[in-house]
Structure 1
Amino acid sequence: MISINLLPIRDILRRKNLRQEVYFILLGFGALLFLFLTVEIFQINAIAGLQEEEKRITQERKQYEVILNDIKKMEEEKKTLLTRIDVINKLKRSSSLTVHVLDEIATHTPPGRMWLKKLSQSDSQLTLEGMAMDDETIAKYMDELEGSAYIHDVKLVSSAMEQYAERNLKTFVLSARVETPEN
Protein backbone atom coordinates (compact mmCIF):
# COMPACT_ATOMS: atom_id res chain seq x y z
CA MET A 1 0.00 0.00 0.00
CA ILE A 2 1.02 3.34 -0.78
CA SER A 3 0.76 5.87 1.88
CA ILE A 4 0.63 9.51 1.20
CA ASN A 5 1.48 11.88 3.90
CA LEU A 6 -0.73 14.83 3.58
CA LEU A 7 0.72 16.72 6.50
CA PRO A 8 2.70 19.75 5.46
CA ILE A 9 5.91 18.79 7.20
CA ARG A 10 7.97 21.28 5.34
CA ASP A 11 5.67 24.09 6.34
CA ILE A 12 5.64 22.87 9.90
CA LEU A 13 9.44 22.68 9.95
CA ARG A 14 9.67 26.11 8.36
CA ARG A 15 7.32 27.56 10.93
CA LYS A 16 9.22 25.81 13.70
CA ASN A 17 12.50 27.20 12.37
CA LEU A 18 10.91 30.62 11.93
CA ARG A 19 9.70 30.59 15.54
CA GLN A 20 13.17 29.61 16.73
CA GLU A 21 14.68 32.41 14.66
CA VAL A 22 12.15 34.89 16.09
CA TYR A 23 12.95 33.66 19.62
CA PHE A 24 16.69 34.04 18.97
CA ILE A 25 16.16 37.49 17.48
CA LEU A 26 14.02 38.52 20.46
CA LEU A 27 16.55 36.99 22.84
CA GLY A 28 19.41 38.84 21.05
CA PHE A 29 17.40 42.07 21.07
CA GLY A 30 16.69 41.57 24.79
CA ALA A 31 20.38 40.88 25.47
CA LEU A 32 21.34 43.99 23.45
CA LEU A 33 18.74 46.04 25.31
CA PHE A 34 20.07 44.67 28.63
CA LEU A 35 23.61 45.56 27.56
CA PHE A 36 22.57 49.12 26.62
CA LEU A 37 20.69 49.56 29.89
CA THR A 38 23.69 48.27 31.85
CA VAL A 39 26.03 50.68 30.04
CA GLU A 40 23.55 53.52 30.60
CA ILE A 41 23.36 52.75 34.34
CA PHE A 42 27.16 52.73 34.54
CA GLN A 43 27.30 56.05 32.67
CA ILE A 44 24.69 57.61 34.95
CA ASN A 45 26.65 56.44 37.98
CA ALA A 46 29.89 57.77 36.45
CA ILE A 47 28.26 61.14 35.73
CA ALA A 48 26.91 61.33 39.28
CA GLY A 49 30.38 60.49 40.64
CA LEU A 50 31.98 63.16 38.43
CA GLN A 51 29.41 65.72 39.54
CA GLU A 52 30.18 64.93 43.19
CA GLU A 53 33.90 65.20 42.43
CA GLU A 54 33.29 68.56 40.71
CA LYS A 55 31.40 69.86 43.76
CA ARG A 56 34.19 68.69 46.07
CA ILE A 57 36.87 70.27 43.89
CA THR A 58 34.90 73.52 43.66
CA GLN A 59 34.62 73.69 47.45
CA GLU A 60 38.30 72.87 47.82
CA ARG A 61 39.22 75.55 45.26
CA LYS A 62 37.20 78.14 47.20
CA GLN A 63 39.14 77.24 50.34
CA TYR A 64 42.45 77.52 48.50
CA GLU A 65 41.50 80.81 46.84
CA VAL A 66 41.41 82.45 50.27
CA ILE A 67 44.88 81.08 51.01
CA LEU A 68 46.17 82.12 47.57
CA ASN A 69 44.83 85.65 48.08
CA ASP A 70 46.64 85.81 51.42
CA ILE A 71 49.84 84.61 49.75
CA LYS A 72 49.49 87.25 47.01
CA LYS A 73 49.01 89.97 49.64
CA MET A 74 52.08 88.72 51.51
CA GLU A 75 54.14 88.71 48.31
CA GLU A 76 53.08 92.30 47.57
CA GLU A 77 54.00 93.31 51.12
CA LYS A 78 57.32 91.49 50.72
CA LYS A 79 58.04 93.43 47.50
CA THR A 80 57.18 96.68 49.25
CA LEU A 81 59.41 95.85 52.20
CA LEU A 82 62.29 94.79 49.94
CA THR A 83 61.94 98.06 48.02
CA ARG A 84 62.03 100.00 51.28
CA ILE A 85 65.07 98.05 52.48
CA ASP A 86 66.80 98.72 49.17
CA VAL A 87 66.08 102.46 49.46
CA ILE A 88 67.38 102.50 53.03
CA ASN A 89 70.56 100.70 51.98
CA LYS A 90 71.07 103.13 49.09
CA LEU A 91 70.61 106.06 51.46
CA LYS A 92 73.13 104.55 53.87
CA ARG A 93 75.66 104.05 51.07
CA SER A 94 74.96 107.53 49.68
CA SER A 95 75.40 109.24 53.04
CA SER A 96 78.64 107.42 53.74
CA LEU A 97 79.77 108.06 50.16
CA THR A 98 79.64 111.83 50.65
CA VAL A 99 81.71 111.57 53.82
CA HIS A 100 84.30 109.39 52.09
CA VAL A 101 84.47 111.67 49.04
CA LEU A 102 85.03 114.75 51.21
CA ASP A 103 87.72 112.88 53.15
CA GLU A 104 89.47 111.86 49.91
CA ILE A 105 89.36 115.43 48.59
CA ALA A 106 90.68 116.88 51.85
CA THR A 107 93.40 114.24 52.15
CA HIS A 108 94.73 114.69 48.63
CA THR A 109 94.57 118.51 48.49
CA PRO A 110 98.18 119.74 48.88
CA PRO A 111 98.31 122.48 51.54
CA GLY A 112 99.92 125.75 50.48
CA ARG A 113 99.89 124.74 46.80
CA MET A 114 96.18 124.42 46.05
CA TRP A 115 92.93 125.96 47.32
CA LEU A 116 89.41 124.80 46.56
CA LYS A 117 86.85 127.55 46.03
CA LYS A 118 83.78 125.48 45.21
CA LEU A 119 82.73 121.87 45.50
CA SER A 120 79.40 120.52 44.22
CA GLN A 121 77.91 117.05 43.86
CA SER A 122 74.82 116.13 41.87
CA ASP A 123 73.94 112.45 42.02
CA SER A 124 77.18 110.76 41.00
CA GLN A 125 78.75 113.82 39.34
CA LEU A 126 81.34 115.81 41.31
CA THR A 127 82.65 119.25 40.31
CA LEU A 128 85.66 120.93 41.94
CA GLU A 129 86.71 124.53 41.32
CA GLY A 130 89.87 126.00 42.74
CA MET A 131 93.25 127.64 42.35
CA ALA A 132 96.71 126.09 42.24
CA MET A 133 100.27 127.29 42.03
CA ASP A 134 100.91 125.58 38.67
CA ASP A 135 99.71 122.97 36.16
CA GLU A 136 101.93 120.31 37.72
CA THR A 137 100.07 120.59 41.05
CA ILE A 138 96.72 120.21 39.27
CA ALA A 139 97.93 117.14 37.33
CA LYS A 140 99.33 115.50 40.48
CA TYR A 141 96.06 116.24 42.32
CA MET A 142 94.04 114.66 39.48
CA ASP A 143 96.23 111.52 39.59
CA GLU A 144 95.82 111.21 43.36
CA LEU A 145 92.03 111.63 43.13
CA GLU A 146 91.91 109.01 40.36
CA GLY A 147 93.65 106.59 42.73
CA SER A 148 90.79 106.90 45.20
CA ALA A 149 88.30 104.05 45.56
CA TYR A 150 85.39 106.53 45.60
CA ILE A 151 86.36 109.00 42.84
CA HIS A 152 86.66 107.94 39.18
CA ASP A 153 87.03 109.50 35.72
CA VAL A 154 88.67 112.74 36.90
CA LYS A 155 88.79 115.22 34.00
CA LEU A 156 90.08 118.75 33.65
CA VAL A 157 87.18 120.84 32.37
CA SER A 158 89.01 124.17 32.21
CA SER A 159 92.23 125.83 33.29
CA ALA A 160 93.22 129.49 33.09
CA MET A 161 95.87 131.84 34.42
CA GLU A 162 94.57 134.42 36.88
CA GLN A 163 96.22 137.19 38.88
CA TYR A 164 95.49 136.85 42.60
CA ALA A 165 97.28 138.72 45.41
CA GLU A 166 99.95 139.87 42.94
CA ARG A 167 100.67 136.26 41.96
CA ASN A 168 99.91 134.33 38.82
CA LEU A 169 97.80 131.36 39.84
CA LYS A 170 96.05 128.69 37.79
CA THR A 171 92.29 128.49 38.20
CA PHE A 172 90.81 125.13 37.31
CA VAL A 173 87.55 123.19 37.13
CA LEU A 174 87.61 119.39 37.55
CA SER A 175 84.78 116.95 37.01
CA ALA A 176 84.62 113.40 38.30
CA ARG A 177 82.26 110.55 38.92
CA VAL A 178 81.75 109.28 42.48
CA GLU A 179 80.51 105.84 43.50
CA THR A 180 80.66 103.46 46.41
CA PRO A 181 83.22 100.73 45.81
CA GLU A 182 81.88 97.18 45.60
CA ASN A 183 83.27 95.04 48.42
Structure 2
Amino acid sequence: MTMNTPNRNYPYPEYGEAANGFPAQDQALATAIDTDLQNNLAAPIADALDEPSARASRPAGAQVVATGVNGTLSYTVENYDNDAIVNLAGSATNFTIQTPGVYLLTGSVNAQPDGSATGAAALIMQSSLGTVPNPVGSSRNLDNDKDTSISCTTLHQAVAGEVLTLFVRHNHGANLNFSIAQFTVTRIS
Protein backbone atom coordinates (compact mmCIF):
# COMPACT_ATOMS: atom_id res chain seq x y z
CA MET A 1 0.00 0.00 0.00
CA THR A 2 1.29 3.48 -0.86
CA MET A 3 1.48 6.06 1.93
CA ASN A 4 1.97 9.83 1.63
CA THR A 5 4.11 12.22 3.63
CA PRO A 6 2.01 14.54 5.82
CA ASN A 7 3.54 17.88 4.77
CA ARG A 8 4.24 17.55 1.05
CA ASN A 9 2.10 14.51 0.14
CA TYR A 10 5.05 12.59 -1.39
CA PRO A 11 4.24 8.90 -2.01
CA TYR A 12 6.25 6.16 -0.33
CA PRO A 13 5.73 2.42 0.28
CA GLU A 14 4.37 1.23 3.61
CA TYR A 15 7.13 -0.13 5.87
CA GLY A 16 6.08 -3.81 5.71
CA GLU A 17 5.28 -3.80 2.00
CA ALA A 18 7.12 -6.23 -0.31
CA ALA A 19 9.85 -4.64 -2.41
CA ASN A 20 8.41 -5.81 -5.75
CA GLY A 21 7.16 -2.38 -6.90
CA PHE A 22 10.35 -0.46 -6.29
CA PRO A 23 10.87 1.11 -9.78
CA ALA A 24 7.28 2.38 -9.95
CA GLN A 25 7.42 3.68 -6.36
CA ASP A 26 10.76 5.39 -7.03
CA GLN A 27 9.35 7.03 -10.17
CA ALA A 28 6.22 8.17 -8.29
CA LEU A 29 8.38 9.80 -5.59
CA ALA A 30 10.66 11.50 -8.15
CA THR A 31 7.65 12.77 -10.13
CA ALA A 32 5.99 14.12 -6.96
CA ILE A 33 9.17 15.97 -5.94
CA ASP A 34 9.66 17.39 -9.44
CA THR A 35 6.03 18.59 -9.62
CA ASP A 36 6.28 20.10 -6.13
CA LEU A 37 9.45 22.02 -7.04
CA GLN A 38 7.91 23.33 -10.25
CA ASN A 39 4.67 24.46 -8.59
CA ASN A 40 6.14 25.85 -5.38
CA LEU A 41 9.57 27.13 -6.38
CA ALA A 42 10.07 27.72 -10.12
CA ALA A 43 6.59 29.03 -10.96
CA PRO A 44 6.44 31.59 -8.10
CA ILE A 45 9.91 32.88 -9.01
CA ALA A 46 8.83 33.35 -12.63
CA ASP A 47 5.59 35.03 -11.51
CA ALA A 48 7.53 37.40 -9.22
CA LEU A 49 9.38 38.79 -12.24
CA ASP A 50 6.08 40.28 -13.39
CA GLU A 51 5.11 41.99 -10.11
CA PRO A 52 4.19 45.68 -10.50
CA SER A 53 7.34 47.78 -10.33
CA ALA A 54 8.40 51.28 -11.32
CA ARG A 55 11.50 53.43 -11.06
CA ALA A 56 11.99 57.08 -11.94
CA SER A 57 15.12 59.16 -11.57
CA ARG A 58 16.70 62.55 -12.13
CA PRO A 59 20.24 61.59 -13.23
CA ALA A 60 21.28 65.13 -14.17
CA GLY A 61 20.47 68.61 -12.97
CA ALA A 62 19.78 69.86 -9.49
CA GLN A 63 16.62 70.73 -7.62
CA VAL A 64 16.92 73.73 -5.28
CA VAL A 65 15.28 73.35 -1.86
CA ALA A 66 14.97 76.25 0.58
CA THR A 67 15.84 75.94 4.26
CA GLY A 68 13.12 74.54 6.52
CA VAL A 69 10.63 73.53 3.81
CA ASN A 70 9.63 70.18 2.35
CA GLY A 71 10.94 69.88 -1.20
CA THR A 72 9.09 67.11 -3.05
CA LEU A 73 11.60 65.44 -5.36
CA SER A 74 10.86 65.49 -9.09
CA TYR A 75 12.08 63.11 -11.78
CA THR A 76 12.97 63.47 -15.45
CA VAL A 77 13.45 59.83 -16.53
CA GLU A 78 11.08 56.88 -16.24
CA ASN A 79 13.53 53.98 -16.00
CA TYR A 80 10.84 51.29 -16.05
CA ASP A 81 7.17 50.84 -15.17
CA ASN A 82 5.06 47.76 -15.84
CA ASP A 83 1.86 48.89 -14.05
CA ALA A 84 1.24 52.56 -15.02
CA ILE A 85 2.55 53.73 -11.64
CA VAL A 86 4.57 56.67 -13.02
CA ASN A 87 3.30 59.29 -15.47
CA LEU A 88 5.97 61.97 -15.77
CA ALA A 89 3.86 63.94 -18.27
CA GLY A 90 1.07 64.19 -15.67
CA SER A 91 3.25 64.58 -12.57
CA ALA A 92 7.02 64.55 -12.25
CA THR A 93 6.75 63.74 -8.51
CA ASN A 94 3.99 61.14 -7.98
CA PHE A 95 3.95 57.35 -8.00
CA THR A 96 0.30 56.19 -8.04
CA ILE A 97 -0.31 52.62 -6.90
CA GLN A 98 -2.54 50.64 -9.27
CA THR A 99 -2.30 47.18 -7.69
CA PRO A 100 -2.72 46.90 -3.90
CA GLY A 101 -0.18 44.90 -1.91
CA VAL A 102 3.03 45.04 0.06
CA TYR A 103 5.64 47.18 -1.70
CA LEU A 104 9.37 47.58 -1.24
CA LEU A 105 10.09 51.31 -1.45
CA THR A 106 13.59 52.66 -1.93
CA GLY A 107 14.78 56.17 -2.63
CA SER A 108 17.96 58.21 -2.66
CA VAL A 109 19.25 61.71 -3.34
CA ASN A 110 22.49 63.69 -3.05
CA ALA A 111 22.79 67.07 -1.32
CA GLN A 112 25.47 69.07 -3.11
CA PRO A 113 28.13 70.81 -0.99
CA ASP A 114 28.38 74.58 -0.73
CA GLY A 115 31.58 74.88 1.32
CA SER A 116 29.81 75.00 4.70
CA ALA A 117 29.14 71.80 6.64
CA THR A 118 26.37 73.15 8.84
CA GLY A 119 23.08 71.44 9.44
CA ALA A 120 21.60 68.21 8.23
CA ALA A 121 19.24 66.97 5.53
CA ALA A 122 16.53 64.31 5.60
CA LEU A 123 14.92 62.17 2.90
CA ILE A 124 11.34 61.18 3.76
CA MET A 125 8.85 58.88 2.04
CA GLN A 126 5.28 60.12 2.03
CA SER A 127 1.91 58.64 1.11
CA SER A 128 -1.29 60.46 0.25
CA LEU A 129 -2.64 58.54 3.26
CA GLY A 130 0.04 59.95 5.59
CA THR A 131 3.75 59.48 6.09
CA VAL A 132 4.93 55.96 5.28
CA PRO A 133 5.70 53.99 8.48
CA ASN A 134 8.64 51.78 9.48
CA PRO A 135 10.92 53.88 9.03
CA VAL A 136 9.76 57.02 7.25
CA GLY A 137 13.14 58.22 6.12
CA SER A 138 16.75 58.93 6.83
CA SER A 139 18.84 61.96 7.75
CA ARG A 140 22.53 62.85 7.58
CA ASN A 141 24.79 65.68 8.64
CA LEU A 142 25.89 67.73 5.64
CA ASP A 143 29.45 67.59 4.32
CA ASN A 144 31.21 70.77 3.17
CA ASP A 145 33.31 69.45 0.26
CA LYS A 146 31.50 66.45 -1.25
CA ASP A 147 27.95 65.27 -1.93
CA THR A 148 26.00 64.02 1.07
CA SER A 149 24.16 60.89 -0.07
CA ILE A 150 20.92 60.02 1.69
CA SER A 151 18.88 56.88 1.09
CA CYS A 152 16.06 54.98 2.72
CA THR A 153 14.22 51.70 2.19
CA THR A 154 11.05 50.32 3.75
CA LEU A 155 8.13 47.97 3.24
CA HIS A 156 4.70 49.53 2.83
CA GLN A 157 1.16 48.14 2.58
CA ALA A 158 -0.27 50.16 -0.32
CA VAL A 159 -3.81 50.51 -1.65
CA ALA A 160 -4.99 51.27 -5.17
CA GLY A 161 -4.99 55.00 -5.88
CA GLU A 162 -2.50 55.81 -3.13
CA VAL A 163 0.13 58.36 -4.20
CA LEU A 164 3.72 57.92 -2.99
CA THR A 165 6.35 60.67 -3.07
CA LEU A 166 9.78 61.48 -1.66
CA PHE A 167 10.67 64.80 -0.15
CA VAL A 168 13.79 66.38 1.31
CA ARG A 169 14.09 68.86 4.14
CA HIS A 170 17.19 70.54 5.57
CA ASN A 171 18.21 73.09 8.18
CA HIS A 172 21.30 74.42 6.43
CA GLY A 173 21.73 78.21 6.50
CA ALA A 174 21.12 78.61 2.75
CA ASN A 175 19.27 76.93 -0.11
CA LEU A 176 20.72 73.56 -1.12
CA ASN A 177 20.91 71.80 -4.47
CA PHE A 178 19.74 68.17 -4.53
CA SER A 179 20.79 65.93 -7.41
CA ILE A 180 20.79 62.33 -8.65
CA ALA A 181 17.38 61.51 -7.16
CA GLN A 182 15.72 58.13 -7.66
CA PHE A 183 12.61 56.39 -6.34
CA THR A 184 11.68 52.73 -6.85
CA VAL A 185 8.49 50.92 -5.84
CA THR A 186 8.15 47.14 -6.30
CA ARG A 187 5.24 44.95 -5.19
CA ILE A 188 6.51 41.90 -3.32
CA SER A 189 3.19 40.36 -2.28
TM-score normalised according to structure 2 size: 0.34
- Bigger RCO (CA 8 Å, 6+ sep): 2
- Richer in helix (by share): 1
Larger Cα-atom Rg: 1
- Richer in strand (by share): 2
TM-score normalised according to structure 1 size: 0.35
